[in-house]
């Protein structure tokens, strides 16, 4: 609810930001980070970028940097979850934020203005996020006391297995934010330790590419390349951190130990800050290598030229179902599609006139396909 309402409010502005985007790499990272923080969905942001690339509005280098920024922006959800886990002798912040759900729901019920309803939806979604966190935490605290559960989870110490679980869970729910929030809740309630939570979170970053891959491979060549850029960015980042973890392990140092010393007594903040640290460091490493990454992707997804026509299958050129998640972009693409169809119609009119005038029917099949 939070994501869809924020997206409805922000996507028009994001479209303007995209269309005015310069070729500055830092500008692209900024748009990606701010945009994703605003709409609370890196998946929606990436699909939006793929749509622009597919339509020829955006070049691959800019798309790559916006995707980098989207990975930073998505960490805001984990930070919100970490805040929601704070409680002590004073009133729990989760309790205060949960009250927003009631206030927002009341406003949604009685508001007549569409803008007010959107804002109320944002407040309700924000509140419900903390209601969900509180319910998960209270349920898991009892679950965590079962000896069978403790024994099973403590036995999963294989890094690769934890990564695969993170990838699988995220691919299943199609949201890295959900899996990261779940990992934070499990760490806070003692179901898993911080080190396990860290590798689950790393895996979730790779799993989050599923939505982009589905969207990209239903589009054109550059849309496919954009989705591969997203996948490789996350894979390279995870590989770098896993290798660094192995190297640190030889000296008896673990990521969990570092973040426990930096944020003592706050396990939710420790994991949320690692998530942010991972994405920021990966962007810093990959930003100067953007052109090399694009060259690699171009080799992996080459332009094979126009395939020989065997059977004609009508298709849309500027629109696919994944763009419908972002209405302002979809409307713009529908306009482009209608203009494209008008160009095809005019071309057919000229072909018809030519055939009638010259009685040359060599392009009759092309004419029928256009129709």
**Tell me, what's the pLDDT at 141?**
62
Q: CA-to-CA distance for 19 and 57, rounded, in angstroms?
A: 7
- Residue ranges in the chain whose pLDDT is less than 70: 2-4, 6-24, 39-41, 55-57, 84-94, 133-134, 136-138, 140-145, 149-150, 153-154, 174, 218-219, 305-312, 320-326, 328-329
**Tell me, what's the pLDDT at 90?**
44
**Tell me, what's the pLDDT at 236?**
93
**Tell me, what's the pLDDT at 12?**
63
> H helices within the chain, ranges in order?
2-19, 25-39, 42-54, 60-73, 75-84, 93-110, 114-143, 147-155, 159-173, 176-188, 194-207, 209-216, 221-250, 255-262, 267-286, 290-300, 327-358, 364-370
DSSP state of 88: S
- Angle of helix 255-262 relative to helix 267-286, nearest 10 degrees? 120
**Tell me, what's the pLDDT at 23?**
57
**Tell me, what's the pLDDT at 103?**
87
**Tell me, what's the pLDDT at 343?**
92
Residue 94 — φ and ψ, nearest 5°?
A: -60, -40
**Tell me, what's the pLDDT at 241?**
92
Q: Which of 251, 269, 249 is nearest to 259 (CA)?
A: 269
Q: Angle 252-257-263 (CA atoms, 0-180°, nearest 5)?
A: 160
Please say whether the dihedral angle defined by the alpha carbons of residues 184, 189, 190 and 191, taken in this order, is positive or negative: negative
> Phi/psi zone of residue 158: left (φ > 0), alpha (ψ -120 to 50 degrees), beta?
beta
Residue 317: CB atoms within 10 Å: 15
DSSP state of 309: P
């Amino acid at each position: 609810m939070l994501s869809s309402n924020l997206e409805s409010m922000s996507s028009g502005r994001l479209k303007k930001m995209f269309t005015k985007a310069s070729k500055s790499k830092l500008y692209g990272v900024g748009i990606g980070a701010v945009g994703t923080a605003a709409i609370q969905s890196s998946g929606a942001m990436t699909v939006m970028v793929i749509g622009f690339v597919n339509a020829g509005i955006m070049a691959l280098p800019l798309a790559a940097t916006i995707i980098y920024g989207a990975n930073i922006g998505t960490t805001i959800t984990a930070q919100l979850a970490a805040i929601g886990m704070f409680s002590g002798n004073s009133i729990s912040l989760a309790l205060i934020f949960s009250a927003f759900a009631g206030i927002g729901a009341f406003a949604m019920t009685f508001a007549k203005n569409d803008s007010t309803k959107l804002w109320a939806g944002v407040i309700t979604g924000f509140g419900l996020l903390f209601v969900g966190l509180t319910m998960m935490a209270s349920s898991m605290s009892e679950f965590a006391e079962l000896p069978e559960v403790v024994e099973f989870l403590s036995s999963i110490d294989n890094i690769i297995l934890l990564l695969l679980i993170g990838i699988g869970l995220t691919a299943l729910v199609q949201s890295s934010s959900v899996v990261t929030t779940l990992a934070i809740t499990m760490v806070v309630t003692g179901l898993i330790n911080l080190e396990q939570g860290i590798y689950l979170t790393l895996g979730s970053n790779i799993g989050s590419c599923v939505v982009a891959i589905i969207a990209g491979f239903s589009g054109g060549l550059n849309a496919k390349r954009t989705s591969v850029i997203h996948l490789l960015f996350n894979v390279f980042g995870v590989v770098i951190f896993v290798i660094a973890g192995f190297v640190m392990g030889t000296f008896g140092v673990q990521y969990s130990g570092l973040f426990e010393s930096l944020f003592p007594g706050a396990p939710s903040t420790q994991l949320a800050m690692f998530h942010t640290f991972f994405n920021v460091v990966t962007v810093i490493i990959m930003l100067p290598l953007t052109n090399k990454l694009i060259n690699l992707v171009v080799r992996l997804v080459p332009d094979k030229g126009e395939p020989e026509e065997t059977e004609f299958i009508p298709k849309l050129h500027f629109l696919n179902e994944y763009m419908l998640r972002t209405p302002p972009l979809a409307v713009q693409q529908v306009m482009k599609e209608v203009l494209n169809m008008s160009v095809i119609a005019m071309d057919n009119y000229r072909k018809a006139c030519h055939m009638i005038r010259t009685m040359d029917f060599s392009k009759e099949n092309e004419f029928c396909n256009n129709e």
